């Protein structure tokens, strides 16, 4: 792959978008490589993923404006679908994905971060959906996910104005979970990923599935989804071992993902 790097640290996978000469902007090739990489990650060996951008300036500065500038209406729809397909794959990926936002997260970069389960920012992070200043709408889910994360009124303000917000404002709005100095960001995200990875992997995957599915339906349907996934966990070795250890007042064995 030309633009996507992958590293495995124990049960944690680290994806780095490495197109520094363009501030890690998303072109068709980057998005294709990202999808291809996700298809190769084994949930047997990986329990959480961190995604970040190469360098200290930018997580992802947006979609590639050079590529978009000459697109026709149909080509524009196709480019939007390419981004939406890649980000939806992140959103519904079986295991949690943490965005380590190191610098600019503009347009498609903000949308990529929002497709992740958790967002952690460096102090120099800047977020925006500036598409209206370029004559387009947000096209990779920004008009949908931003409102779901920070609320309708503030999302409309940011989407209509294209205004940039810094890390501290993103934290106040709930767009990110925490802010760290640049030099600590990745290790703090890995530390969080490792904490997630210590728990029963099947239960974590079921929790993500329950949240994602439940947010799209009414409450009665949602708790039915939760009940099914809750029940399914009782068919696992990890549940029996962990609950047995609790009852017997002993330390449980490491989770086996079974």
Could you give the residue numbers annotated as active site? 111, 131
Angle 5-210-177 (CA atoms, 0-180°, nearest 5)? 55
Length of the chain: 258
Q: Tell me if residue 252 falls in helix, strand or coil.
A: coil
Query: What angle separates helix 142-150 from helix 152-161, to the nearest 10 degrees?
Result: 140
Angle 47-9-122 (CA atoms, 0-180°, nearest 5)? 90
Contact (Cβ atoms closer than 8 angstroms) between residue 222 and residue 85 = no
Q: CA distances (Å), 78 to each of 56, 90, 140, 254, 258, in order?
A: 31, 19, 11, 45, 40
What strands lie across the sheet with 178-180, from one edge to the other? 4-9, 12-17, 48-53, 97-101, 118-122, 178-180
């Amino acid at each position: 792959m030309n633009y996507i790097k992958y590293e495995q640290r124990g049960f944690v996978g680290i994806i780095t978008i490495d197109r520094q000469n363009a501030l890690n902007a998303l072109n068709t090739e980057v998005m294709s490589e990202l999808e291809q990489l996700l298809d190769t990650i084994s949930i047997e060996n990986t329990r959480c993923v961190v995604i970040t951008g190469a360098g200290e300036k930018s997580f992802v500065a947006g979609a590639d404006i050079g590529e978009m500038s000459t697109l026709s209406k149909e080509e524009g729809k196709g480019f939007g679908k390419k981004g939406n397909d890649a980000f939806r794959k992140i959103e519904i990926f079986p295991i949690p994905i943490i965005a380590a936002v190191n610098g600019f997260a503009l347009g498609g970069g903000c949308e990529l971060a929002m497709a992740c389960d958790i967002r952690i920012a460096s102090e120099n992070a800047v977020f925006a959906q500036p598409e209206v200043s370029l004559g387009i709408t947000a096209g990779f889910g920004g008009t949908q996910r931003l409102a779901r994360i920070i609320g309708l009124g503030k999302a409309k303000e940011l989407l209509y104005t294209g205004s940039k917000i810094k890390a501290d404002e993103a934290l106040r709005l709930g767009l990110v979970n925490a802010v760290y100095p640049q030099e600590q960001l990745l290790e703090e995200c890995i530390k969080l990923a490792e904490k997630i990875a210590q728990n029963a992997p099947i239960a974590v995957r079921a929790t993500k599935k329950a949240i994602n599915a439940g947010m799209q339906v009414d409450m009665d349907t949602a708790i039915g989804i939760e009940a099914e996934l809750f029940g399914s966990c009782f068919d696992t070795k990890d549940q029996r071992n962990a609950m047995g250890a609790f009852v017997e007042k002993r330390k449980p064995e490491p989770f086996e993902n079974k």
